[in-house]
Structure 1
C-alpha cells in the first residue's frame, strides 16, 4: 500500500493495524513469531488471529464480565459470524477486525468450510460442560485445527 493511502486502501491498512494491536495485546509470543513471517503472509496471519481472539473473548469471559447473559453471548457470536460472512461477500465491514479478516479470507481463499466449524466450536464453549470423544474431536478441529488450516491458506 502506498504511503498516502486513501479510501478503502487506508481503511484496510487501518484494519490490519487494529488486528496487529489485538495480537500484540493478547499474545506477545505469537506476535513475535509473526514478525518472522514475510511481509505478505504476516498481516494475513495476524488478521486470522485477531478474529479468532475476538470470537474467543465473546465465549470465554469478557462478554460475561460485561454482564451479557448466555443468550446474549450466543446472539453476539451469531452476529459476529454473520458479519464475517457478509464482509467476505461484500469486501467491507465497519468492524475493523472483521474487515481485516474478510480481506484475508477473500485474498487467501478461506471459505465457509473453515469458518463454519470455527464458529460451531466457539458455540460449544457456551453450552458444553463436558465432552465425549466425538464432541471433543469436533471442538478441537473447530477451535484449533481450522485456525491452522486458515493459516495454511495464507
Structure 2
C-alpha cells in the first residue's frame, strides 16, 4: 500500500513539474534559455520557483481584473493563493499544480516564509494601484521602491541561491557574499524591467515604480542605468563562488540584462515609453554560448 501511495505522489509531482515548465514556455524564452544551462539537479527547481512567482505576478497584473473580479475579489484571490502556498510549504502537498511543484522545491532547498512573505507583500502592493484608488497612479518613493524590489525580486534571487547551494558546505564569508550578489542581481533585473515596461506599468497598470513624478526624464534614465550597472557588477563578482553547475546560467542571464541595459542607455525616454527594449534571439544565443565557454574554463569548485 505504501508503494502505491509513493508512486501516486511521484506521478502527481512530475505532472506538477510539467505544468511549471509550461508556464516558463508561455511567458519567458529568456528565462527558459538560462534554465537549460543549469545543471540537471537545479533545473527543475528553478523552473518551479519561476512558475509560482509568475502566476502570482499575473494574478495582480490584470488577469483577475480582466476576468471581471472586483478589487475585493482580486484581493481574496491573492490571499487564497498565499494561504495555499504556505499550507503546502508546511505539509508538502497542494491540489494546485504550480503551488505543489514550488512546495517540493521549497522543502528541498530550505525556502521558507522569510522569503515568501516579502514576495507576497510586494504582490499585495501591486493590488493597491490605480484600480484600487481614485484613479491616480501608484507612485513609489525611494524607500517604497527599495522595499518593493526586495520583495518582488531580491528574494527570488535568494530562493534560487538556496537551490544552488543546497548540499554544499560554504563558509560564512562566501555565504554572505553570495546572498549579497543574489540580492543585487535580482534588483538589477527588476530595475531593468521597470525601464522596459514604462508604458505598460504607467498607462495600463497605473504604477510608477521609478519615482514620484508623472513622467521619467532622460536624466532619470541615466541615473537608473548607473545604478543597474553597479548592481550587475556586484553580482558578477560573486559568480565564481557559485557551484560550477549554476554559473553558466547565472552568467548568461546577467549578460543578457547587461545587454538590455546598454540598449536602454542608447534609447531616449520617449522611445522607452513607446516600445519594450529587446535583445534579438540570435544575440541571446551568442551570450549563452560565451557564458558556457567562460564557465568551462573555470576550475570546478
**TM-score, L = length of structure 1:** 0.95
Q: Pairwise mapping of residues 54-69 of structure 1 onto structure 2 (< 5 A)?
A: 54-69=55-70
Match of 2:148 in 1: 139
Instruction: Please say if 1:39 is aligned against 2:40.
Output: yes
- 1:6 positional shift: 2.8
CA distance in 1 between partners of 2:83 and 2:9 (Å): 21
What secondary structure is seen at the aligned counterpart in 1 of 2:40? coil
Match of 1:74 in 2: 75
- 1:37 positional shift: 0.6
Larger Rg: 2
CA distance in 2 between partners of 1:64 and 1:28 (Å): 26
CA distance in 2 between partners of 1:81 and 1:31 (Å): 25
Unmatched runs of 5 consecutive residues or more in structure 1: none
CA distance in 2 between partners of 1:118 and 1:62 (Å): 19
CA distance in 2 between partners of 1:132 and 1:32 (Å): 34
CA distance in 1 between partners of 2:75 and 2:150 (Å): 20
> For 1:94-136, what per-residue CA distance to the aligned partner results, in whole angstroms no more than 9, with x for missing partners?
0000000011100000011100000000011011411121111
Match of 1:85 in 2: 86
Match of 2:157 in 1: 148
**TM-score, L = length of structure 2:** 0.49
What secondary structure is seen at the aligned counterpart in 1 of 2:139? coil
CA distance in 2 between partners of 1:57 and 1:137 (Å): 21
CA distance in 2 between partners of 1:65 and 1:151 (Å): 31
Aligned alpha-carbon RMSD (Å): 1.0
CA distance in 2 between partners of 1:76 and 1:133 (Å): 29
CA distance in 2 between partners of 1:52 and 1:69 (Å): 22
Query: Whose relative contact order is higher, 1 or 2, with alpha carbons under 8 Å and at least 6 apart?
Result: 1
